[in-house]
Amino acid sequence: MSNREIRVRFAPSPTGPLHIGGVRTALYNYLFAKKQGGKFILRIEDTDQTRFVAGAEDYIIEAFRWCGIQFDEGVTKGGDFGPYKQSERKAIYRQYAEQLITSGQAYYAFDTAEELTALRKKYEAGKKTFTYNAAERKQLKNSLVLSEAETQKLLETNTPFVVRFKMPEDRIVRMDDLIRGEVTVHSNVLDDKVLFKSDGMPTYHLANIVDDHLMKISHVIRGEEWLPSLPLHILLYEAFGWEAPQFAHLPLLLKPDGKGKLSKRDGDRMGFPVFPLQWTDPKTGETSRGYREDGYFPDAFINMLALLGWNPGDEREIFSLEEMAEAFSIDRVGKSGSRFDPEKAKWFNHQYMLKTDNKELAGLFLPFIEKEGVMADIGYVEKVVGLVKERAHFVHELWEQSDFFFRAPASYDAKAVKKRWKQDSYNQMSALKVLLAGIDNFSSENTEAIVKKWMEENEYGMGVVLNAFRLLIVGALKGPHLFDIIALIGREETLRRLETGLHELGRKE
Question: Which residues form the interface with ligand GLU (CB under 6 A)?
Answer: 11-13, 45, 204, 208, 222, 226
Please report how close the Cβ of residue 294 comes to ligand GLU at its closest, in angstroms: 25
Calpha distance 266→274 (Å, rounded): 8
Residue 391 in 3-state DSSP? helix
Catalytic residue among 77, 216, 261, 264: 264
Q: Is the dihedral of CA 155, 161, 165, 166 positive or negative?
A: negative
Pairing of strands 73-74, 106-109: unpaired
Calpha distance 256→368 (Å, rounded): 31
Nearer to ligand GLU, 86 or 425 (CB): 86
Please report how close the Cβ of residue 22 comes to ligand GLU at its closest, in angstroms: 7
Burial class (CB in 10 A: 0-12, 13-18, 19+), 172: exposed
DSSP state, residue 31: H
Type of residue at 381: V
Nearer to ligand GLU, 222 or 433 (CB): 222
Please report how close the Cβ of residue 21 comes to ligand GLU at its closest, in angstroms: 10
Q: Which residues contact 168 (CB under 8 A, 6 or more apart)?
A: 187, 235
DSSP state, residue 72: S
Count the alpha carbons within 13 Å of 182 in the hemisphere toward its beta carbon.
4
Calpha distance 292→299 (Å, rounded): 11
Please report how close the Cβ of residue 287 comes to ligand GLU at its closest, in angstroms: 23
Nearer to ligand GLU, 101 or 221 (CB): 221
Type of residue at 506: G
Give the DSSP H/E element, type plus range, for residue 41: strand 39-42
Neighbours of 414 (CB within 10 A): 9
Nearer to ligand GLU, 56 or 385 (CB): 56
Please report how close the Cβ of residue 13 comes to ligand GLU at its closest, in angstroms: 4
Please report how close the Cβ of residue 379 comes to ligand GLU at its closest, in angstroms: 49
Nearer to ligand GLU, 21 or 501 (CB): 21
Nearer to ligand GLU, 204 or 348 (CB): 204
Calpha distance 285→55 (Å, rounded): 13
**Cα dist from 469 to 160, 167, 406, 436, 503, whole Å:** 84, 81, 18, 12, 14
CB pairs under 8 A, 24+ apart, for 144-153?
144/107, 146/110, 151/108
Please report how close the Cβ of residue 226 comes to ligand GLU at its closest, in angstroms: 5
Nearer to ligand GLU, 13 or 447 (CB): 13
Active site residue 283: no
Please report how close the Cβ of residue 204 comes to ligand GLU at its closest, in angstroms: 6
Please report how close the Cβ of residue 14 comes to ligand GLU at its closest, in angstroms: 9
Calpha distance 210→207 (Å, rounded): 5
Calpha distance 228→231 (Å, rounded): 7
Nearer to ligand GLU, 11 or 262 (CB): 11
CB pairs under 8 A, 24+ apart, for 402-407?
402/479, 403/372, 404/473, 404/474, 404/475, 404/479, 404/485, 405/380, 405/485, 405/488, 405/489, 406/369, 406/372, 406/374, 406/376, 407/374
Nearer to ligand GLU, 73 or 397 (CB): 73
Please report how close the Cβ of residue 16 comes to ligand GLU at its closest, in angstroms: 10
Give the DSSP H/E element, type plus range, for residue 279: strand 279-280
Calpha distance 328→263 (Å, rounded): 27
Calpha distance 15→56 (Å, rounded): 6
Calpha distance 260→125 (Å, rounded): 32
Annotated active-site positions, please?
A: 264
